[in-house]
Structure 1
């Protein structure tokens, strides 16, 4: 069976109407990404993410509301994608961690002779 040029016209028209009919659904991550500048502005104004999440949940339908931890994850990802720095530093470390080096007395070595690296590991019952 040979197709006629009018079939091509009908197929193109069907494809055009199909793309116009379907509405793209917004994921919750996309929802937060679209609001990240407003969310960041509220955080800068002193609101916590818990308060912002509660306020946004009032506008969403029952099945689509955010849990606070999920919302925080989406905000962190959206902030990273948008290049927005956090409003405060989350680390409590004030400087680099202090390293503790224990010296091992010489075990009959002469100066310049290195210890066998295999002696640093304990025998754990198998080949390393």
Structure 2
């Protein structure tokens, strides 16, 4: 069975009558990526991620609401993707620590020794 040119015209008309773009469902990660500039602006204004997450959850259906840890992960990834720097440094140290050393005279020469070998194992914020 051969197709006629009128079938071609009907098919073209059917394709044109379809909506230009099908509605795409956003993932929650895409949702956060789309809002990352606004989220970052609120963070620099002094709002915490917990407050922002709570406010966004008010606008979402019950099944699609964020858990806090998931929201933090999405924000971190979206910020990296957008090239936005974190609002604060995520370290506990405020500056470099000064080593505890003392000088011990050794036959006219000054020898530098560490005060306590246990100081090599500084607490890094976790259990070993």
TM-score range, shorter chain: 0.5 to 0.7
Structure 1 counterpart of 2:29: 29
Deviation at 1:88, TM superposition (A): 0.6
Q: 1:81, 1:21 → 2: CA distance?
A: 26
* SS of structure 1 residue aligned to 2:18: helix
Q: Calculate the aligned-residue CA RMSD, in Å.
A: 2.2
Gaps of 5+ in 1: 96-128
Once the two structures are superposed, residues 64-100 of structure 1 have per-residue CA deviations (whole angstroms, 9 ceiling, x without a partner) of 11111111111111101111000011123555xxxxx
Structure 1 ranges of 4+ moved more than 4 A: none
Structure 1 counterpart of 2:69: 69
Once the two structures are superposed, residues 22-64 of structure 1 have per-residue CA deviations (whole angstroms, 9 ceiling, x without a partner) of 3122221111111101100111111111110000000111111
Higher-RCO chain (CA-CA 8 Å, sequence separation at least 6): 1
What is the aligned residue count?
A: 97
* 1:59 and 2:59 are equivalent in the alignment: yes
Q: 2:13, 2:86 → 1: CA distance?
A: 49
* SS of structure 1 residue aligned to 2:26: coil
Structure 1 residues 89 and 71: CA distance shift in structure 2, 3 A? same
TM-score by length of 2: 0.67
Deviation at 1:15, TM superposition (A): 2.5
Structure 1 counterpart of 2:43: 43
